[in-house]
Amino acid sequence: MSDTTTTADGAAPRTDSIEDLAGFSRRSGELFCEEISARELARRFQTPLYAYSRQALEHNIADWRAGVAGTPHRVFYAMKANGSLALLELFARAGLGFDIVSRGELARALAVGAKGCDIVYSGVGKSLEDMRAALAADVLCFNVESLPELERLNAAALEMGTTARVSLRVNPDVDARTHPYISTGLKNNKFGIAFDSALEGYRRAARLPGLKISGIDCHIGSQITELEPFVHAAHKVLDLVEEISGAGIALEHIDFGGGLGVRYGAENPPAARELVSALSQCVRERGFGDLPLFFEPGRSLVAQTGLLLTTVEYVKPTAARNFCIVDAAMTDMIRPTLYQAEMAMVNCSEHADAAPAVYDVVGPVCESGDFLAKNRLLDVREGDVLAMTGAGAYGMSMASNYNARGRAAEVLVDKDSAWLIRRRETIEDQMALESRLPLEVL
Ligand code: LLP
């Protein structure tokens, strides 16, 4: 066994705790989600299991809703982060709107009672069918990302005898200082309309009879942990707002997108209320304080509300590394392998006779990229339940069936109740969409 407490490269290994997480606590060595121990959840619902805390969700909603006197703001939850209907229902009940990127997401928003006026539609590749469905639902605003999309939306609206409210998503060419895969506001990204073409885009939109200009939009990336890139982008957007108003085109809102980061490890991101307050201040300073601000947060509303619970199948010491092989995999949580994301990992029950060592926590999938955490100082035994914290965003929503693995179950914990909000996917579920070839062609 490579039984050291340092990593192969001599660095100090990472250990995590669950302090500072609303909804979660450690009591006599046991991890609790509200009033139920994580081990009890794993026993009742099996693993891999996503467990969300309602209290944590409400904490985050309150942070985002805490507005700034005098500057109206609306929050549209970007459901790509976690589209579970039960969570959406809680957001809808709390008065949040939804930021959607597909007809599937539209249907989910409508299913939990959202009205068109609660929905903004983002995304770089809206199809004609997408547009028709969203026009039929009378969505509040389409965030349009290219001039050809403007033309297509205009045609779709005219054909349906209606008008599409639009914002142009402008690309402010600001470095969000985040992982390249989740950075979207640089000019070499596929997103948005180039800053220099935006005014022309607005002039064009103003001439199209099927469109009504509603606002302006930008989204510069995700997991942004400082205010500065947001403020920088806001000032660039406000430069454009001045030009657009100067051209006699009235705007009714400014949408600053999503992107606020969370604390997965050592990051220290601002609270949502600090971001709202900083951007409200920019807008007021520049004389546009009467324009409502829209935000499209995903991660910051849900990441810290969720645990991914997983059971240790094997502890496998080797000469080079110690592997802790668990029943969750990259199919349940792809962030570590896709973005080199370092997600926190803790043992749900602390052992009295502690024997920590440095482990890579890996799944059963046939890929070396199938890991959940590397170089972690953990005390793990076969049968232990581990929890990845911060797993509520871009976990379940990016899950796959690779290796014919069924997707995990999800539960929502509310004090001492746990509701199964999505049952575990069965092997039959996975095969249900497929058809066999007729016998004669075999
Ligand atoms: N609005 C737009 C137009 C977006 O593209 C996104 C995220 C959001 C809002 C929400 O951003 P958030 O507040 O969640 O940062 N799978 C990646 C993140 C991809 C984000 C894509 N767009 C991850 O796991 O890090």
Mean pLDDT, range 215-224, rounded to an integer: 96
**Residue 343 CA, ligand 1 centroid: distance in Å:** 17
How many CA atoms lie within 13 Å of 434's alpha carbon, on the beta-carbon side? 7
Where does ligand 1 bind, in terms of residues with CB under 6 Å? 78, 80-81, 99, 122, 182, 219, 222-223, 257-260, 296-300, 335, 339, 394
Backbone phi, then psi, for 417, in 5-degree steps? -110, 145
**Residue limits of CATH 3.20.20.10 in the chain:** 123-295
| CB atoms near residue 430 (< 10 Å) | 14
Split at pLDDT 50, 70, 90, the class of 2 is low
Average of pLDDT values for 21-35? Answer: 96
- DSSP assignment of 263-304 equals -SSS--PPPHHHHHHHHHHHHHHTT-TTSPEEE--SHHHHGG
Asked if the model's pLDDT at residue 62 lies above 80, the reply is yes
Residue 71 has pLDDT above 90, yes or no: no
Predicted pLDDT of residue 8: 62
Distance CA 171, CA 187 (A): 7
Three-state DSSP state, 157: helix
The residues facing 409 across adjacent strands are 49
> With 0-12 CB in 10 A as exposed, 13-18 as middle and 19+ as buried, what is 340?
exposed
What percent of the residues of the chain are helix, what percent strand, and what percent coil, each to the nearest 5?
30, 25, 45
For residue 1, is pLDDT > 70? no
Q: How many CB atoms lie within 10 A of CB 110?
A: 17
The pLDDT tens digits for 34-59 are 999 999 999 999 999 999 999 999 99
Summarised one tens digit per residue, pLDDT across range 384-397 is 999 999 999 999 99
pLDDT for the residue numbered 181: 73
Pocket test for ligand 1, best of 296, 333, 400 (most atoms within 8 A of CB): 296
Q: What is the pLDDT of residue 19?
A: 73
Tell me the one-letter amino acid at 406. Answer: G
Among 222, 230, 300, 397, which is best to mutate for testing ligand 1, by the most ligand atoms less than 8 A from CB?
A: 222
Homologous superfamily of domain range 123-295: Alanine racemase (3.20.20.10)
Counting from 1 in the atom list of ligand 1, the atom nearest the Cα of 335 is 24
Q: Which atom, in ligand 1's list, is nearest to the CA of 123? A: 3
Helix, strand or coil for residue 361? strand
Query: What's the pLDDT band for 191 if we cut at 50, 70, 90?
Result: confident
The residue to mutate among 299, 333, 372, having the most atoms of ligand 1 within 8 angstroms of its beta carbon, is 299
Which of residues 183 and 282 earns the better pLDDT score? 282
Supply the DSSP symbol for 170: E
- Going from the Cα of 220 to the center of ligand 1, the distance in angstroms, rounded, reads 9
Tell me: pLDDT of 327 over 70: yes
Instruction: Give the pLDDT score at 28.
Output: 95
Structure tokens given for 261: 């980061």
Quick one: tokens of 72? 């109206």
218 part of the active site? no
- Residue 368 exposed, middle or buried by CB count within 10 Å (0-12, 13-18, 19+): exposed
Q: What confidence category does residue 69 fall into, taking pLDDT thresholds of 50, 70 and 90? A: confident
Residue from 33, 117, 141, 366 carrying the catalytic annotation:
366
Second CATH level (architecture) for the domain 24-53+303-431: Beta Barrel (2.40)
- Enumerate the H helices of 3-146 as residue ranges: 38-45, 54-65, 85-93, 103-111, 128-136
H or E element that contains 119? strand 119-121
Whether 298 has a pLDDT exceeding 80, the answer reads: yes
β-partners of residue 75 are 295
- Please give the mean pLDDT across all residues of the chain: 95
Radius of gyration of the chain (CA): 23
The pLDDT score that the predictor gives to residue 5 is 63
pLDDT of residue 335: 98
Domain boundaries for CATH 2.40.37.10 within the chain: 24-53+303-431
Q: Which residues contact 79 (CB under 8 A, 6 or more apart)?
A: 88, 98, 99, 100, 105, 108, 109, 298
Cα 409 from Cα 308, distance rounded (Å)? 10
What is the Å distance from ligand 1's center to 221 Cα? 7
pLDDT tens per residue, range 84-132: 999 999 999 999 999 999 999 999 999 999 999 999 999 999 999 999 9
Spacing, Cα 356 to ligand 1 middle (Å)? 36
DSSP 188: T
On whether the pTM is more than 0.85, the answer is yes
- The Å distance, Cα 29 to ligand 1 centre, comes to 35
What is the average pLDDT across 208-227?
Answer: 97
Give me the residue label for tokens 């199938």. Answer: 370
Query: Taking 80 as the threshold, does the pLDDT of residue 375 lie above it?
Result: yes
pLDDT bucket at 306, cuts 50 / 70 / 90: very high
Confidence check: pLDDT of 16 > 80:
yes
Residue 114 per-residue DSSP state: -
CA end-to-end distance (rounded Å), the chain: 51
Q: Give mean pLDDT, residues 188-206.
A: 91
Neighbours of 4 (CB within 10 A): 13
